[in-house]
Structure 1
Amino acid sequence: MTFEPLASDFYAYENQLTDVEKESIAELRAWLEADVAPVVNDYWERAEFPMQVIEPLARLGVLSHGWEETRRFENSAVFRGFVALELARVDAGVATFVGVQNGLATGSIAVCGSAEQRAEWIPKLASGEIIGAFGLTEPLSGSDSAQGLRTIATRDGDDWILNGEKRWIGNATFSDITIIWAKDADDGQVMGFIVPTSTPGYSATKIERKISLRTVQNADITLTDVRVPESHRLQNANSFKDTAKVLRLTRAEVAWAAVGTSIGAYEAAVRYATDRVQFGKPIASHQLVQDLLVKCLGNITASIGMVVRVSEMLDRGEQRDEHSALAKAYATSRMRETVAWSREALGGNGIVLDFDAARFFADAEALYSYEGTREMNTLIVGRSVTGKAAFV
């Protein structure tokens, strides 16, 4: 399949991809534009997830990128970033599903699981045979998860008993397993558990009335004396530092998804401005509209440069927490500006789903907040540059 660079990748960063990676991007893009773009507004309006996308995502190898046991072919972090960009360029909800399935759920097992756990669970997640979720955030614990978790794990012979609550857990209304992070009742250290959602005492309730990422099925989870065997405890998750290893890897891909969301809104604005005629000519020929579009493109271009570099650092083993934190904080901030300017270019039509910009505008708000708010990521970077922690 022929690869065509995106016009919105103004400095052609995609040219850094290998020929094989470009072919994979072209295949993914063709499927997204043919099968996802035409239906996603309807699913967004109904607040339903298009379940039919899971099998093609698995077939295209998207659910197995990055993990050795299931790698479709050798690929770089830069390539995985462009995959996240392509997904979010069409729908941030599908990008979020993949981020949870492949990044957070599979990633937790890949980073913190034993060899036996990786061999058992990762192939099933990569094939889409099972769906995963990631349970860290709680009703009363979000940004302070490192110290503030209230979910407790109590050892009982060869089992663990989990009690607590989780909130905002993506995929959780239809997941087969959820990675639950809980504090050890004995020493207070954070541990991770692979919890089948059919386990007695586990319940998930969909969060309703959202204005952002409506296709993502977020849930409140209640854990009441949920018993899991020691074999389901992530064997290499012994403190929140291990949890943070997973978040560092996925945070950069959220930054990539923010760039994709920006591009989706910008491309919708360009299409509209080219077609919409006012005062006898397309509004794209008006100076003020061109100013909006160029500001959008500047934000996108600067953000692509940042996320490409942070992924290159990951490939070289040089990326640290503050690097991915800066990328997430910056790219999501520029995204917020870009989707607003793009929506503005559509005038009144910018607030209806028909022209796509409204959906990107609304979905951007969730990306701006999840996987670390701008403020928390700023403090991670601030600690790095000053040597002083200012979290409390």
Structure 2
Amino acid sequence: MTTTLPVEEKHFQAALTADFYGYENLLPEEERKLLLKARDVVRSEVKPLVNEYWAKGEFPRELVDIFRGLGLAGLPYEGYGDPLPAASNLLVGMVSMECTRTDASSATFFGVHSGLAMYSIYRGGDQRQRDRWLPAMAAMDTIGAFAMTEPLGGSDVAGGMRTTARWDGENWVLNGAKRWIGNATFADLVVVWARDEADDQVKGFVVEKGTPGFSPVKIENKIAFRIVENAEITLTDVRVPEANRLQEINYFRDVAEILRATRSGVAWQALGVMIGAYELALDYAKERRQFGRPIARFQMVQDLLVKSLGNITASWGMLVQLARLQDAGIFRDEHSALAKAFVTSRMREVVAWSREIFGGNGIVLDYDIARFFADAEAIYSFEGTREMNTLIVGKAITGKSAFV
């Protein structure tokens, strides 16, 4: 019996050193062109900025123009600026990987806007709301943020959300606080999640810049994602009209559908960090000489590189199938949870091994690897910790909940 390969042998040439099995070749030609466009723009325009601003802990405003020129913010949302009539989830994931391969902070700025904020409106808004906000967001003329995590609520935010919403007959009145909200210091709109005092259900609200009572303050002294302007937000009698309540969000299970999709995006980011760190370590090993020869000739260095490549290849294969499940419409919470838990754990190993190859040079920004090492810790933690995602998968495979 003859097996037909999905890619012709003559095309099996990975564009990236880390793409050992040629996963990129699974993309149709038109989609791969968009991926290569993202690769070129991010490498040529984003990379020169990141170390300076990462060291200062500031967001370079020119990033907005760079990603606007890339033209991919509306990629997953048919009819709202996407350059393809129906982009696959595999392309969306690989674009996220590509951005993170250069810098996790700037990729997160883009992911918060294009993923968390835009998808909340795309999935949670009615047609009028989608038409009202998404075209400008796809063009990146309007920048979005997503506010769910709270100062006292991370993993337990579903049942323990303290931010409240109360209908006073004319407007919704929001009170509470949010923390770790990326882009919030400069975003034009923020999707805020709050518990309705009347029915105890979580609902979504679009709070526009300048709304009285909405106060974002930048979080300082971070050791990771230093380019991202995370904020702590205070909401004091913030009045929001019914037209700004996401009409298709009525229960937390609706919110969970959004998180299911964005959690898979974080797994793709983790893959990008692995690839970026591995590429840096591989290049360094070929150039760095000790005992009169490149350290790439040392068996222990090769061992670290091969283990890293194995983690990358296994994770990439998992995410390819995850994207296929999304495209087929049979994508479940436990699918994205397993990917997030597994891939971010493998990422932690790869950045540690890669930094080890650099020795003392691995702790300074000059060689880039220190930034990857630090930023990996943020990706490991957000969108559900490894433990929480493990419990989601554990419940799915045993039928028994181990949540407290």
Q: Normalised by the size of structure 2, how large is the TM-score?
A: 0.95
Q: What is the identity, as a one-letter code, of the residue corresponding to 1:138?
A: E
Helix, strand or coil for the counterpart of 1:161? strand
1:307 aligns with 2:319: yes
Matches within 5 A, 1:1-392: 5-70=15-80, 71-73=82-84, 74-392=86-404
In structure 2, C-alpha distance between the alignment counterparts of 1:112 and 1:26, rounded to whole Å: 31
Deviation, 1:216, is 0.7
Question: Could you tell me whether the CA contact under 8 Å between 1:58 and 1:64 is conserved in 2?
Answer: no
Q: Which runs of 5+ in 2 are unaligned?
A: 1-12
More moved, 53-62 vs 140-149: 53-62
Deviation, 1:39, is 2.0
In structure 1, C-alpha distance between the alignment counterparts of 2:67 and 2:46, rounded to whole Å: 11
Q: RMSD value over aligned CA atoms?
A: 1.2
In structure 1, C-alpha distance between the alignment counterparts of 2:118 and 2:48, rounded to whole Å: 29
Question: Could you tell me whether the CA contact under 8 Å between 1:351 and 1:358 is conserved in 2?
Answer: yes
In structure 2, C-alpha distance between the alignment counterparts of 1:296 and 1:4, rounded to whole Å: 17
In structure 1, C-alpha distance between the alignment counterparts of 2:62 and 2:155, rounded to whole Å: 33
Count residues in correspondence: 391
In structure 2, C-alpha distance between the alignment counterparts of 1:48 and 1:121, rounded to whole Å: 27
Q: What is the identity, as a one-letter code, of the residue corresponding to 2:230?
A: N
Q: Which runs of 5+ in 1 are unaligned?
A: none
In structure 1, C-alpha distance between the alignment counterparts of 2:97 and 2:352, rounded to whole Å: 19
Deviation, 1:4, is 6.3
Deviations 1:15-44 (A, max 9, x none): 000111111111111111111112211111
Q: What is the identity, as a one-letter code, of the residue corresponding to 1:285?
A: R
Question: Could you tell me whether the CA contact under 8 Å between 1:167 and 1:219 is conserved in 2?
Answer: yes
In structure 2, C-alpha distance between the alignment counterparts of 1:23 and 1:72, rounded to whole Å: 11
In structure 1, C-alpha distance between the alignment counterparts of 2:50 and 2:215, rounded to whole Å: 28
In structure 2, C-alpha distance between the alignment counterparts of 1:238 and 1:308, rounded to whole Å: 32
In structure 2, C-alpha distance between the alignment counterparts of 1:127 and 1:35, rounded to whole Å: 18
Q: What is the identity, as a one-letter code, of the residue corresponding to 2:83?
A: R
More moved, 184-193 vs 28-37: 28-37
Deviation, 1:381, is 0.3
Deviation, 1:69, is 2.5
In structure 2, C-alpha distance between the alignment counterparts of 1:287 and 1:50, rounded to whole Å: 41
In structure 2, C-alpha distance between the alignment counterparts of 1:82 and 1:49, rounded to whole Å: 24
In structure 2, C-alpha distance between the alignment counterparts of 1:65 and 1:192, rounded to whole Å: 23
Question: Could you tell me whether the CA contact under 8 Å between 1:69 and 1:119 is conserved in 2?
Answer: no
In structure 1, C-alpha distance between the alignment counterparts of 2:288 and 2:280, rounded to whole Å: 12
Deviation, 1:53, is 2.0
